[in-house]
Structure 1
Amino acid sequence: MSAVSDVIVVGGGVSGLTTALVLAERGLRVRVWSRDAAQDTTSAVAGALWWPYRIEPEALVGAWSLETLRVYEEMAAAPGRTGVRMVAGVHGGERLAALGPWARSLEGASDVAEGLRVTLPLIDMPVHLRALEDRLAEAGGVAERRAVRDFAEASAEAPVVVDCAGLGARELAHDPGVRPVRGQLVVVENPGVDEWFVQADPASSETTYFFPQPGGLVLGGTAEADDPRTEPDPRTAREIVARCARVRPEIAGARVIGHRVGLRPARDAGVRIEAEELPGGGLLVHNYGHGGAGVTVAWGCARAAARLVRRAPVG
């Protein structure tokens, strides 16, 4: 017999766990249903630098991002436990005045010859996901490995279902605008790089970035729309290393220690946060379509979705 729940969150990546945590810390009885363990989700292979990259709608993303930034700044006080560190770096080619109004809230950001220099949250995702799971458990939430074929399965066991299914929302929410954007990374032994660098052209499928993480220097990357391949491509890996080495030549000789591929859950119309009634009187709250910026907007979107849950007849 399943445990009595107020809410079932479908999806166990960073968006699902963060949303579940917000709800559980409000005192609701929350279960997370996820086909994959958190360490096997797309979130686990993210870079993961805070930055509102390739995400819409523009009118809402800034506020969601800044709300999340404030949470990460607090978490950075305990990086070993949370996986969050504040690290300096450069966004190549960017200028503060060319960014949205949200950028005025970035403390210490300044234009330099190479681009925009700023200190931002850099997140070790395996550690961070474990921290979210631990905090969820402390709040009374339960994470379960369970594949979901239809939201009706969840609504039969809780009056509220929250859809954080990522790419799975294409089928579950019958949303053809959900599509994979393939990202490939290379992890090398860090040759002494202690700052991050990003140079991204939104019109290109190729980006150049490196992030110094505890487990190595993470090099990237790609943004290949509608490419479902999950195996690393050797030629792409060589090109990633070469691009990064043009910025920091010492990267060229660094020993490769791993490859990562993740399918970012993008949505043509941007992030979807809205509620709808389910047959039988249940409430379905959607929170998906974050693309490659799920980490960046996790807390802002989770709180926006949680506000919709208040409409539900939870006990």
Structure 2
Amino acid sequence: MIVVGGGVVGLTTAVVLAERGRRVRVWTREPVERTTSAVAGALWWPYRIEPEAFAGEWALASLSVYEELAERPGKTGVRMVEGVHAGLRLDELGPWAARVPGLRETGEGLRALLPLIDMPVHLGWLRARFLATGGVVEERSVGDLAEAFESDAVDVVVNCAGLGARDLVPDPAVCPVRGQLVVVENPGIRTWFTSAGHADAETTYFFPQPGGLILGGTAEEDEWSLVPDPAVAEEIVRRCAQVRPEIAGARVIGHRVGLRPARDAVRLDRELLSDGRVLVHNYGHGGAGITVAWGCASEAARLAGGGEDQPRT
């Protein structure tokens, strides 16, 4: 079996499949540490993902896993951190929100203790966990999903190519939503903050990570540039400093740009090919790939014939 895509969705799917007894190879165009997932701010929250009903269930399944992984933060990169979604109310969200432990309304918005994930650490941990099963990660470009079926005795391919699915499927419904971030030295902030609508091109958030305070951001649809815009970076710092003034004087460590693989709805389905082989699609997670990774991985494994066991942590 081959999983195409080495971001958080692809690696998590590969782990679930391998731990259910399948022999799995991951094909990734970029090294794991250079995928879009690696630059994410990485707060658990169903952001820019549809359909909400399914996304909520996938997110809740993933939340249970992350809560357990947070017991080993140094190893897994997952921590439980307090914060607030400014301006949000419970009645603006789907039924899934009522099942998030401790999520409550305050004068500021919705406050909760949620998983915040240090992605470089987490991706490295996922890769090591996958390799420990006997899995293989191969860095290679793929021009067509048919290439994966041309490998020796491959009967199932799982497409977790993210934005790459636009060309590989091909699926023109997949488009980038550009996100720009600024990383600064943390002036002592220990809680996260977001103020972001699902349709807003400009967002305001900050996440305290071990390597610095991550400031955001943008959500620019159909923008492909990976080059940070200095003017946008200044505006991001300004907006965050309006919430926490001490951010204004923080030294800038670096800049990040990532392209969220957006789609009108996640594609998570099974395609039976004319020769009897199986192609499973698991892409189009927008800004919530990390949030739904384990839930979607379990469903993709079921579609691929990988059983229904719960993921172990």
Specify the TM-score bucket, using the shorter chain as the normaliser.
over 0.9
Query: Displacement of 1:98 after TM fit?
Result: 2.5
Structure 1, unaligned stretches of length 5 or more?
1-6
| Match runs of 1:102-181 below 5 Å | 102-157=96-151, 158-181=154-177
Which portions of structure 1, spanning 4 or more consecutive aligned residues, are displaced by more than 4 angstroms?
Answer: none
Deviation per CA, 1:204-223: give whole Å up to 9, x if none. 20000000000000000000
| Match runs of 1:263-274 below 5 Å | 263-268=259-264, 270-274=265-269
* Number of residue pairs matched by the alignment: 305
Query: Displacement of 1:250 after TM fit?
Result: 0.3
Give the Cα–Cα distance (whole angstroms) in 1 for the partners of residues 12 and 88 of structure 2. Answer: 30
Query: Displacement of 1:126 after TM fit?
Result: 0.3
- Classify the secondary structure of the residue corresponding to 1:250: helix
Q: Does 1:38 align with 2:32?
A: yes
Letter matched to residue 229 of structure 1: S
Q: Residue 4 of structure 1 corresponds to which residue in structure 2?
A: none
Letter matched to residue 142 of structure 1: V
Q: Does 1:303 align with 2:294?
A: no
Q: Say if 2:156 and 2:279, in contact at 8 Å, map to a contact too.
A: yes
> CA, structure 1 residues 253+311, in 2 after alignment: closer, same or farther (shift >3 Å)?
closer
**What RMSD in Å do the two structures reach over aligned CA positions?**
1.1
Query: Displacement of 1:239 after TM fit?
Result: 0.4
Task: Return 272-281 or 66-75, whichever deviates more.
Answer: 272-281
Letter matched to residue 239 of structure 2: R
- Classify the secondary structure of the residue corresponding to 2:213: strand
| Match runs of 1:90-109 below 5 Å | 90-109=84-103
Give the Cα–Cα distance (whole angstroms) in 2 for the partners of residues 218 and 45 of structure 1. Answer: 10
Deviation per CA, 1:219-264: give whole Å up to 9, x if none. 0000000000000000000000000000000000000000000000
Give the Cα–Cα distance (whole angstroms) in 1 for the partners of residues 239 and 225 of structure 2. Answer: 22
Letter matched to residue 34 of structure 2: D
Query: Displacement of 1:200 after TM fit?
Result: 0.5
Structure 2, unaligned stretches of length 5 or more?
308-313
Query: Displacement of 1:279 after TM fit?
Result: 4.7
Q: Residue 186 of structure 1 corresponds to which residue in structure 2?
A: 182
Q: Residue 283 of structure 1 corresponds to which residue in structure 2?
A: 278
**Aligned equivalent of 2:242, options 240, 246, 266:** 246
Give the Cα–Cα distance (whole angstroms) in 1 for the partners of residues 31 and 273 of structure 2. Answer: 27
**Aligned equivalent of 1:72, options 57, 66, 75:** 66
Give the Cα–Cα distance (whole angstroms) in 2 for the partners of residues 110 and 59 of structure 1. Answer: 20
TM-score, normalised to structure 1, is 0.95
Q: Does 1:225 align with 2:186?
A: no
Give the Cα–Cα distance (whole angstroms) in 2 for the partners of residues 57 and 79 of structure 1. Answer: 31
| Match runs of 1:207-222 below 5 Å | 207-222=203-218
Letter matched to residue 246 of structure 1: Q
Work out the percentage of aligned pairs sharing the same amino acid: 68
Deviation per CA, 1:258-311: give whole Å up to 9, x if none. 00000000012x100111123533211000000110000000001111111118
Letter matched to residue 108 of structure 2: E
Query: Displacement of 1:105 after TM fit?
Result: 1.2
Letter matched to residue 93 of structure 2: L
